[in-house]
Structure 1
Amino acid sequence: MLLKGKVALVTGGGTGIGKGVVEALAREGAHIAIAAADFVESAANQYGSKNIGGYTAAKKLAAELQANGTEAIAVEANITKVADAGQMVKATVERFGRLDILINAAGLITCKQVADLTEADWDAVVDTNAKGTFITNQAVIAQMKQQGGGRIINFSSIAGKTGYPGLAHYCASKFAVIGFTNALAKELVRDNITVNAIAPGIVATEMWVNLRKAWANPGESEEESYQRNVQAMIPQGVDQTPEDMAKAVLFFIDSPHVTGQTLNVDGGCS
């Protein structure tokens, strides 16, 4: 198995893309810490609630993995908080003795025109997607340097390379992830720590439950909206899956001389 004896920390790992990544890492033999939060400070997110249920989902997934023989723990952490990020790294190292891989998959989205955006809308999305990437990446550097290397993989988006109406704040946060990833990779290049990013296309997660509603034409069902957007945006004409993203994660983990890159997994839309 590719990752036997390796330890991975996955933020946002209880649901969506993060869950798909966690399951792939487990199949490859990794020990896994799943970090997530149940409550956030603003309801400006795809769930429309301050209760996003991430930690509850992480605990459920960790229990399922343990029942199938994978060493896994759930850690409650809000990645916009420096103290929480430090604690999730500490909990991972205390449980498994090391930390080899960080996958930063936590993310928030809302859909509003710039004229209608509130400061709270902006802060909720940008703090999680951009600031959260900075905080989580920074939190693992010392441990990885001490061990002599590691892998950091962040999640951006096709909206981190192209602007979309109604998503200016989300686009800003995901453009930031790409720039940050490239710069950090160059800072850590002599430390045997690679830093890369993945830019998903359209994946049927909770984010797209939100967008299919927001982008529906009059009289169009949510499923019709989703399929129309897939056809309009994705040249292959099909959406992507968490499993597609997990394959990209495994590629980066197994590629010691690939760093500072953002890999689009988007069916050819970029």
Structure 2
Amino acid sequence: MKLSGKTALVTGGSRGIGRGIALELAREGADIAIADARLGTDAQKTLSDIQALGREAVEIEADVSKADQVAFMIDRTIEALGAVDILVNNAGVLSAAPVEELEEAEWDRIMAVNAKGPFLCSKAVIPHMKVCGGGRIINVASIAGKNGFTTLAHYCASKFAVVGFTNTLAKELARDGITVNAICPGIVRTWMWDYLSEEWRAPEEGVEDSWARHIDTIIPQGIAQTPQDMGQLAVFFATAPHVTGQAFNVDGGVELH
């Protein structure tokens, strides 16, 4: 297994893309810590599935927008699993509103989790990775970090920030054996796209019809992506020592840059 003996910390790892990444890393031999602001049945299911693969697993309750909770999360992972070889900054939030109607507090909430979170988590883990002789930081951005979407200005701004942060941090850590890359998911059937299918549905259109229309009109391949797709790219980033500073799209051909 490619990641035997490694430990990965996945924020927002209980469900959706985070769960898909955690399971793919576990299948390749990594022990896994999953962190979420609120733990529940989703976390328990993901934990059990990781353990069923023969891997060690731990769940940690932490808000990635709070520096003290991030520090606890890193320390708890090291205490329970011995190291943080791979950090996956996946935790994210979403809402939709035109800029004219967007509340300042909502802008701040989205930026705090989506942009500040990867900064705080990376900052906290870098000293540990340097002492260990290297590591992998994998940020989850979005195709919304490559192009704008109506009513998602705050979300797009946060994901553009993640792409820029990824590129800059990769350059800063290039001589330390730490690679930094970003996954840019396309359309994945998680709670976010259930929400957007409702928000963006046409008059007289149901949520399922809205979902199907977006798949058909946005994705050249005409097929939605999956959490497992994102996990496969995470495995590649975790095992590629000379790939760094990149923001790779997994979107069926939507974005070509």
For 1:12 and 1:147, the matched residues in 2 are separated by 25
Cα distance per residue 1:160-182 (max 9 Å; x no partner): 01001100000000000000000
For residue 22 of structure 2, what is the aligned residue in structure 1? 22
Equivalent position to 1:194, from 176, 179, 195: 179
1:56 Cα deviation (Å)? 4.6
Q: Kindly indicate whether the alpha-carbon contact (under 8 Å) linking 1:106 and 1:129 is maintained by their aligned counterparts in 2.
A: yes
1:121 Cα deviation (Å)? 1.3
For residue 151 of structure 1, what is the aligned residue in structure 2? 136
2:151 aligned with 1:142 = no
1:68 Cα deviation (Å)? 4.5
Residues 1-270 of structure 1 aligned to structure 2 (within 5 Å) = 1-38=1-38, 54=39, 56-270=41-255
Letter in 2 for 1:181: T
For 2:237 and 2:185, the matched residues in 1 are separated by 15
For 1:68 and 1:185, the matched residues in 2 are separated by 32
1:27 Cα deviation (Å)? 1.0
What's the TM-score, normalizing by structure 2?
0.97
For 1:102 and 1:219, the matched residues in 2 are separated by 43
Q: Kindly indicate whether the alpha-carbon contact (under 8 Å) linking 1:55 and 1:75 is maintained by their aligned counterparts in 2.
A: no
Kindly tell me: are residues 59 and 87 of structure 1, through their superposed partners in 2, closer, same or farther at Cα, counting changes over 3 Å?
Answer: farther
For 1:63 and 1:120, the matched residues in 2 are separated by 37
For 2:36 and 2:128, the matched residues in 1 are separated by 20
What's the TM-score, normalizing by structure 1?
0.92
Q: Which piece of structure 1 moves more, 144-153 or 26-35?
A: 26-35
Q: Which piece of structure 1 moves more, 260-269 or 62-71?
A: 62-71
Kindly tell me: are residues 84 and 59 of structure 1, through their superposed partners in 2, closer, same or farther at Cα, counting changes over 3 Å?
Answer: farther
Q: Kindly indicate whether the alpha-carbon contact (under 8 Å) linking 2:23 and 2:49 is maintained by their aligned counterparts in 1.
A: no
1:122 Cα deviation (Å)? 0.7
1:111 Cα deviation (Å)? 0.7
For residue 49 of structure 1, what is the aligned residue in structure 2? none
Q: Kindly indicate whether the alpha-carbon contact (under 8 Å) linking 1:33 and 1:92 is maintained by their aligned counterparts in 2.
A: yes
Q: Kindly indicate whether the alpha-carbon contact (under 8 Å) linking 1:55 and 1:76 is maintained by their aligned counterparts in 2.
A: no
Cα distance per residue 1:23-82 (max 9 Å; x no partner): 1111111111001111xxxxxxxxxxxxxxx45522332134335522000011000000
Q: Which piece of structure 1 moves more, 138-147 or 68-77?
A: 68-77
Q: Kindly indicate whether the alpha-carbon contact (under 8 Å) linking 1:185 and 1:195 is maintained by their aligned counterparts in 2.
A: yes
1:222 Cα deviation (Å)? 0.3
Tell me how many residue pairs correspond in the alignment: 255
Partner of 1:29, secondary structure, is coil
Q: Kindly indicate whether the alpha-carbon contact (under 8 Å) linking 1:160 and 1:199 is maintained by their aligned counterparts in 2.
A: yes
| C-alpha RMSD of matched pairs (Å) | 1.1
Structure 1 gap ranges (5+): 39-53
Structure 2 gap ranges (5+): none
Q: Kindly indicate whether the alpha-carbon contact (under 8 Å) linking 1:201 and 1:267 is maintained by their aligned counterparts in 2.
A: yes
For 2:211 and 2:117, the matched residues in 1 are separated by 28
